[in-house]
Structure 1
């Protein structure tokens, strides 16, 4: 039984494939939903993957999936791309990653699990779908962890609010708003995670592989959960902003009252 090893990473942000292609001397233009399939050794395009070939899929949403690549090849690609694409400079700290295996057995029935798939052939369609699903999964994992961290921070402010305090500065509100809007933007950008690859419409085996893997990795459910949490954070931010404005208005009213009082006292003083 032969096998192909996949290792997926999530970069810290979106990847401009057209800019990367230009830096590598590649004239092809990429649509947002179209991945770049590259040789990690020669940095040239690959037309169709082969089961013993070293390759890497790169996606606009920041997913990077290596196929059949040893550790030194992975490290070399990240090192080489640092000079042409800023987003690769944070790769030593990459914590969002996953491994998968495609086992090829002509006599076996198809089997698909969270860790591996058994297929009768290593057709490039299957390789592309596996890469696409695990790339989306690790990208979602990164967003999930970040949004949970923001929710934890917001809960601290909610607890203060329960005690009748609102200790949050305008700068902090602005940063919180920027973070939440980033999550909202990311959610919109990830609409493609709910779309099936075009090949699945004409290839029943590819369609079954995609549906099963997307279900196992809970892609749609995780996307909806991120969207729900983003909406919740947006609602909380609106409450904080309204309370902060009300607090500022109240403070301004007291200042005006104090100034009027001082003016009256001074007027009476000068008249006397």
Structure 2
């Protein structure tokens, strides 16, 4: 038996509380930030995360498309980047342990807990990819200003646009910080050695921790660049104010000389 897992980044976030209230299917497990469904009628599984990711397992394509239309009603901002990750689970009754491969895992038998762990890590991988895309865009745009400094010795960006850029960077960073829990181990692995091992192996397989550290490092680079840009603009603003003061003083002197003739 083989089960296909598909994780898709659909939005920046979902309103999980409202979704759970209005989606008339009993949840297998869940919290304020995620909800997992084991649909016995179709032997399919569904995992929805508040950071905008939906993970399907053994889902019919038509049913998947229909659900995506439904979940979009609970999204804050839709993501149109075609970000998805696929994984699969295969069964081998002759096995006595779980074996994790690069793009699939082999288990003695399927159960909701194993599916949940595999779907969780697949969903985390997609979420990290989304943040990697965002940080890449920020780094690319900051490189443009760095090259301008190198070639012209000044920045052409206005203070307003710089503040918008700073706001965008902080928004991405805050979003990542808010979703730091995606790296947390689920409660069901705490007292289950086999599931804990599966979870750790999948994290290693998807490079979850390594990618997050790299993401944090790249955001730090962008923040350092922002500090530099802000300092350059502050110098520019100070110089402009100095010239304004000088001009006002000259005007005042000229007026005084004119009236004392």
TM over 0.5: yes
Contact 1:50/1:124, CA 8 A, preserved across alignment: no
CA deviation string 1:66-118 (max 9, x = no partner): 11112211111112334x4244x847x35110111100111135321231111
Alignment partner, residue 104 of structure 1: 91
CA deviation string 1:109-148 (max 9, x = no partner): 5321231111111121110000000000001001001101
Alignment partner, residue 224 of structure 1: 213
Contact 2:12/2:78, CA 8 A, preserved across alignment: no
Alignment partner, residue 158 of structure 1: 146
Within a 5 Å distance, the mapping from 1:3-152 to structure 2 comes to 3-24=2-23, 31-33=31-33, 35-38=34-37, 46=38, 53-82=43-72, 84-87=73-76, 90=78, 93-108=80-95, 110-152=98-140
Alignment partner, residue 184 of structure 2: 195
CA deviation string 1:186-209 (max 9, x = no partner): 221232233211221211211111
CA deviation string 1:205-237 (max 9, x = no partner): 111111111001110111111112222222221
> CA separation of 1:189/1:176 partners in 2, compared to 1, >3 Å: closer, same or farther?
same
Alignment partner, residue 194 of structure 2: 205
Local SS of the residue matching 1:141:
helix
Structure 1 distance, partners of 2:15, 2:210, is 27
Contact 1:17/1:59, CA 8 A, preserved across alignment: yes
RMSD: 2.3
CA deviation string 1:44-85 (max 9, x = no partner): xx4xx6596123110122221011112211111112334x42
> CA separation of 1:67/1:144 partners in 2, compared to 1, >3 Å: closer, same or farther?
same
Alignment partner, residue 244 of structure 1: 233
The alignment covers a number of residue pairs equal to 258
Within a 5 Å distance, the mapping from 1:160-175 to structure 2 comes to 160-162=148-150, 163-175=152-164
CA deviation string 1:147-167 (max 9, x = no partner): 011101001101111231111
Structure 1 unaligned residues grouped into runs of 5+: 39-45
Within a 5 Å distance, the mapping from 1:249-268 to structure 2 comes to 249-268=238-257
Pair 1:183 & 2:182 matched:
no
Q: CA deviation at 1:254?
A: 0.3
Which aligned segments of 4 or more residues in structure 1 are displaced greater than 6 angstroms? 26-29
Local SS of the residue matching 1:13:
coil
> CA separation of 1:120/1:51 partners in 2, compared to 1, >3 Å: closer, same or farther?
farther
Structure 1 distance, partners of 2:53, 2:90, is 23
Alignment partner, residue 42 of structure 1: none
Of 244-253 and 24-33, more deviation after overlay is shown by 24-33
